[in-house]
Structure 1
Amino acid sequence: MLKRNVLAMSFAPRDNHEAQVQFALERGVPAVIGVLGSINLPYPSRAFDMAQCSRCLIPWTANDGMYLMEVDRVLRPGGYWVLSGPPINWKTYYQVWKRTKEDLKAEQKKIEELAEQLCWEKKYEKGDIAIFRKKVNDKSCRRNSANMCKPRGSDDVWYKQMETCITPFPKVSSASEVAGGELKKFPARLFAVPPHISKGLVEGVSVESYQEDNKLWKKHVNAYKRINRLIGTARYRNVMDMNAGLGGFAAALESPKSWVMNVVPTIGKDTLGVIYERGLVGIYHDWCEGFSTYPRTYDLIHANGVFSLYQDKCSFEDILLEMDRILRPEGAVIFRDDVDVLNKVRKIAGGMRWDTKMNDHEDGPLVPEKILVAVKQYWVGGIKGNSTSSAE
């Protein structure tokens, strides 16, 4: 998919014998630990252009189709769902799967009935693959007394119980209009005004302020590259932005050599829908908790205003220890925050054996916002105490 300029977000449960997420991240592919269970996925509605299930063994017809309804929630109008594995091609594999023909045939029929209720069309089936497409709006949907979700803010999903209901399409004025807004093709979509902003769905953000934000982050990223010349090279493949805002950092950094996990803190402004409309990937998260990944999986972490945001919520030590856990040895962190906050961070980082350097704001030393750059040292336990690998 990367060769086709497609960025895929994979998730899989933590497994005792196959750490699939760790393998993916070590290959430089976006992935998080996750499961389709009883809690909403940590993504906004209409986030993905395509969703794929390859032999994932999810019981799609269980709980009155609740899992398929959750896929529908995160799938953009006009998006595709690809199913590969049971019960598709049951005539060939029913004996291997140790199930009866009747059981598998009934399961596939139920999936197709659910798809029709969700306003999906089956577009293709051949061999082990079936492809469904979600319609661009609900003007031609055939929904017989479908249970529609009650309004609660469709992106209010953090620790929310999954419900057996269908997320309504945004309203449209014509049969050809794409519900939620049409998107340009990538990479033009990266800097085009996202529908969330043009429709005024993000409080306090206008088209003008969005464009100014893009200019600001181009300036910031240029400053980062002057401080650390490895930024933008293949040295930093897996990048995380801990407080992504409108995705300006990731957009300014955009390169085939790296990708950015844009994290939107659950205690801040909800901008994750904007990030996905720009063709980027991200996730909701509360930094008072551990992040859903394995240790040593990110090469570069960007923390803009994270510690000011959380200074009354949880301890700096806990957040920094979690950053240390997910950062690779010799990986780097860029902090951007108020100087008083960064001085506290710097003191703790020194105790974690990080090398740190404080830098002035791009606009000069009189600006109270500073840039702290840290590098995690590779060190091991020696006979006479801990020492760096170079000393060994």
Structure 2
Amino acid sequence: MLTSTSVAPPQTANLTSKAATTLVSTESDAAATTNVVDQSGSASRTTNGKKKQSVFEDNPGDLPADAIKTDQADGGKGADTDQDKDNKHTQISEESTMTTAQSANQQVISDETMTQQNTKAADKPNMEERQQTEEKVVEEEEPQNKAAAAEEANNNNQNPEKTSEVVSSGMIPKESKESKRSWSTQAGESESQKERRKEDETKGQDSELPKDTWQLCNVTAGPDYIPCLDNEKALKKLRTTGHFEHRERHCPEEPPTCLVPLPDGYKRPIPWPTSRDKIWYHNVPHTKLAEFKGHQNWVKVTGEFLTFPGGGTQFIHGALHYIDFLQRAVPKIGWGKHTRVILDVGCGVASFGGYMFERDVLTMSFAPKDEHEAQVQFALERGIPAISAVMGSKRLPFPSAVFDLIHCARCRVPWHNEGGLLLLELNRLLRPGGYFVWSATPVYQKLKDDVEIWQAMSALTVSMCWDLVTIKRDKLNKIGAAIYRKPSTNDCYDQRKKNFPPMCPNDDDPNAAWSVPLQACMHRVPSEPSIRGSRWPDDWPRRLQKPPYWLNSTQMGIYGKPAPQDFTADYHHWKNVVTVTYIKGLGINWDGVRNVMDMRAVYGGFAAALKDMKVWVVNVVNVDSPDTLPIIFERGLFGIYHDWCESYSTYPRTYDLLHADHLLSKLKTRCKLVPVLAEVDRMLRPGGTFIVRDESSTVGEVEGILKSMHWEVHLTNNNDKQGILSAQKGDWRPETFALSSS
């Protein structure tokens, strides 16, 4: 196989760091001042005496040791109540490994006791100073948290159906059995449309680790290796590449356990926002794009830097001019308010998405690997969100109806071919009432091919009921844009004389997106007011904090409360954790952090807590976890589906911070930790930070593996059940290569 797997190092026996601190306790104490009050009773309570609450599914341990928990009535009775019948979607769920959350009146461990414990554990000279800083942080946060608690209590007192909620000191709420069965997962949604991977009974057992040292990956791609996109063995077996199958994911049968080498001359990345305009040449040593596109202001070689003037084929005079041109063409677009989350198809070096930050718009950019040399790699090195993906034979890994606007500037996609197959995929992703911006030569040029494409595109969009809002020409850039709007009702669909493109069958799930083949059909627009997609979200930034309108108190949230209260509690929880611990307590240089990934997002609370920082966060929802990704998009954030038993579709060294909250202990039931952590090493930049919150035993395993890769573990704190680890990747690389198996 392509990705030769080197043997991985043994784990250390005693894995608890000497640098233990009071972080878990500190967060708990600070969180104890942020009481969220509700009055709706136990999680198993019936509504109007008719039926039990409809619920979400997840597993215990989703909120770490400093989490917000339910009161005794909620956490006890609700957790032990079985639902009468399962949801129609079969869930892929994991058995709980956590004990029931203790009652709200459990005694809080005092600061004095924890200080004594840490005095014994802290051997490093700087730990006493860090502890004092953390205690000061708690004191500073108490007034703010009390004010927030008072405001929340006042709001909840106006709603008599909310149950009381108590902030716990270091306990994880146990979710009800109902919650474990009724929230669909991406794997469950996609299962009926593709063959699922068979599970090996012995998979996930890390007890038989190889005893030798790490080795470098011996692959053709070298420092740019993406295992699921560079699988030469699988690519050679493809029967066809007519739908860009060679650019799609083909993961190795066994995930790599080797480490990717650094490029010669690699330097720590230039911080944002300077990185938007220039990056180190040796970090991404590719010049072909500059040679091909230099005259279009895409990228230029300037000494030891690659510079990005901010132009492109469609906006030679700057991306901001082009962005404002679109706003003037259709003022209702409302950058940064009405329109917040957009998709850029065939993004080039992603200057469009990079400058969209100045309009408070979050852009998910994507392009195929090697379509133009390293364009997505350039984007990520610049600090701009992007993934390597292609519109080929499968759906993109996003839910339906989540993007406010989709943009295509000379993306060279044959939208009109095969019954509009690819444009219908964009129709799936676009919100009802959302805009499609097509800025391409058929819009403004009169060559024979352009005219034919325009005519075919016009016929297709009319049959899809898209409204051509306007066609505008930009005289300065000498380009034009056609802006379409997806219908927000089913009226046009019902009035069509021809059923082409056809409406999708009723049993076709538009949210099933993990390795699901494309289908040339359209889904109806939701008409029920309580269904997602029936109306537009609130303007940004209000949508960030407000629970989506389609979450209601009859639904049980991930942590056992009614969904809107669960959402709010999660938001306050992560605001506390980020403020008290991550920003002030872990010693992270946030000035050097730009590209962030939450490897196991739930509601997107971690990303929401980072809103005011100069970072962007991609929220990953695992395919076997509750499908909460639509909630994340609804609040003006973005994310993607993924299976962490496989490699992620990004270049090496593209993230500054990876966050794994109760992810790894769950993964161990399906796959091994060593290749997962080798993937973490591949994605993270030298100097980048990895934060793990998980069961103590798992945190210990992770610490041992990271130390074997010569990472610096700054902090490990374990209590009886839970632990937190903060580690920094260094520059160390093995000296030998693994044997090639391609």
Scaled by the length of structure 2, what TM-score is found?
0.47
Query: Contact 2:367–2:389 (CA<8 Å) still a contact in 1?
Result: yes
In structure 2, the residue matched to 1:120 is 466
Query: Contact 1:234–1:258 (CA<8 Å) still a contact in 2?
Result: no
SS across alignment from 2:504 = coil
Letter in 2 for 1:119: C
In structure 1, the residue matched to 2:659 is 302
Letter in 2 for 1:225: I
CA offsets, 1:348-372, max 9 Å, x none? Answer: 11111111144447xxx45x21111
Letter in 2 for 1:83: W
Range 370-379 or range 3-12, more displaced: 370-379
Range 52-61 or range 136-145, more displaced: 136-145
CA deviation after TM superposition for structure 1 residue 220, in Å: 1.9
Letter in 1 for 2:387: V
Matched, 1:156 2:512: yes
Letter in 2 for 1:227: G
CA deviation after TM superposition for structure 1 residue 140, in Å: 4.3
Matched, 1:48 2:403: yes
In structure 2, the residue matched to 1:388 is none
Letter in 2 for 1:139: D
Question: Which of the numbers 579, 585, 591 marks the counterpart of 1:234?
Answer: 591
Map 1:128-147 → 2, pairs under 5 A: 128-141=480-493, 142-143=495-496, 144-146=498-500, 147=502
Matched, 1:311 2:663: no
Give the 3 Å change call, closer, same or farther, for CA 221–5 of structure 1 in structure 2: same
> Percent identical across equivalent pairs?
40
Letter in 2 for 1:344: E
Letter in 2 for 1:230: I
In structure 2, the residue matched to 1:325 is 682
Question: Which of the numbers 376, 389, 393 marks the counterpart of 1:34?
Answer: 389
Letter in 1 for 2:508: R
Give the 3 Å change call, closer, same or farther, for CA 216–267 of structure 1 in structure 2: same
Give the 3 Å change call, closer, same or farther, for CA 149–191 of structure 1 in structure 2: same
In structure 1, the residue matched to 2:326 is none
In structure 2, the residue matched to 1:192 is 546
SS across alignment from 1:197 = coil
Question: Which of the numbers 374, 384, 391 marks the counterpart of 2:727?
Answer: 374
Counterpart Cα distance in 2 of 1:196 and 1:229: 39
Give the 3 Å change call, closer, same or farther, for CA 120–256 of structure 1 in structure 2: farther
Query: Contact 2:532–2:550 (CA<8 Å) still a contact in 1?
Result: no
SS across alignment from 1:313 = coil
In structure 1, the residue matched to 2:412 is 57
Counterpart Cα distance in 2 of 1:16 and 1:185: 36
In structure 2, the residue matched to 1:243 is 600
Counterpart Cα distance in 1 of 2:406 and 2:717: 44
SS across alignment from 2:680 = helix
Counterpart Cα distance in 2 of 1:316 and 1:273: 28
SS across alignment from 1:288 = coil
Map 1:211-226 → 2, pairs under 5 A: 211-222=568-579, 223-226=581-584
Query: Contact 2:709–2:732 (CA<8 Å) still a contact in 1?
Result: no
Structure 2 residue ranges without an equivalent (≥5):
1-355, 474-479, 737-742
Letter in 2 for 1:370: G
Give the 3 Å change call, closer, same or farther, for CA 199–48 of structure 1 in structure 2: farther
SS across alignment from 1:346 = helix
Q: CA RMSD for the aligned pairs?
A: 2.3
In structure 2, the residue matched to 1:97 is none
Matched, 1:68 2:423: yes
**Going by fraction, where is strand more abundant, 1 or 2?**
1
Counterpart Cα distance in 1 of 2:532 and 2:603: 22
Letter in 1 for 2:551: I
Give the 3 Å change call, closer, same or farther, for CA 190–229 of structure 1 in structure 2: farther
Counterpart Cα distance in 1 of 2:630 and 2:555: 10
Query: Contact 2:553–2:563 (CA<8 Å) still a contact in 1?
Result: no
Give the 3 Å change call, closer, same or farther, for CA 283–152 of structure 1 in structure 2: same
Question: Which of the numbers 105, 114, 126 marks the counterpart of 2:451?
Answer: 105
Counterpart Cα distance in 2 of 1:19 and 1:375: 26
Counterpart Cα distance in 2 of 1:349 and 1:183: 42
Query: Contact 1:137–1:172 (CA<8 Å) still a contact in 2?
Result: no
Query: Contact 1:195–1:277 (CA<8 Å) still a contact in 2?
Result: no
SS across alignment from 2:612 = coil
CA deviation after TM superposition for structure 1 residue 228, in Å: 2.2
Range 331-340 or range 8-17, more displaced: 8-17
Letter in 1 for 2:520: T
Give the 3 Å change call, closer, same or farther, for CA 247–356 of structure 1 in structure 2: same
CA deviation after TM superposition for structure 1 residue 111, in Å: 1.5
Matched, 1:182 2:536: yes
Who wins on radius of gyration, i.e. which is larger? 2
Structure 1 residue ranges without an equivalent (≥5):
95-99, 386-392
Counterpart Cα distance in 2 of 1:318 and 1:258: 27
CA offsets, 1:102-129, max 9 Å, x none? Answer: x533421221222223332101112321
Counterpart Cα distance in 1 of 2:546 and 2:619: 18
Range 117-126 or range 265-274, more displaced: 117-126
Give the 3 Å change call, closer, same or farther, for CA 331–178 of structure 1 in structure 2: closer
Counterpart Cα distance in 1 of 2:440 and 2:416: 14
Question: Which of the numbers 425, 444, 469 marks the counterpart of 1:89?
Answer: 444
In structure 1, the residue matched to 2:149 is none
In structure 2, the residue matched to 1:351 is 708
After superposing on structure 2, the runs of 4+ consecutive aligned residues of structure 1 that deviate more than 4 Å are 199-205
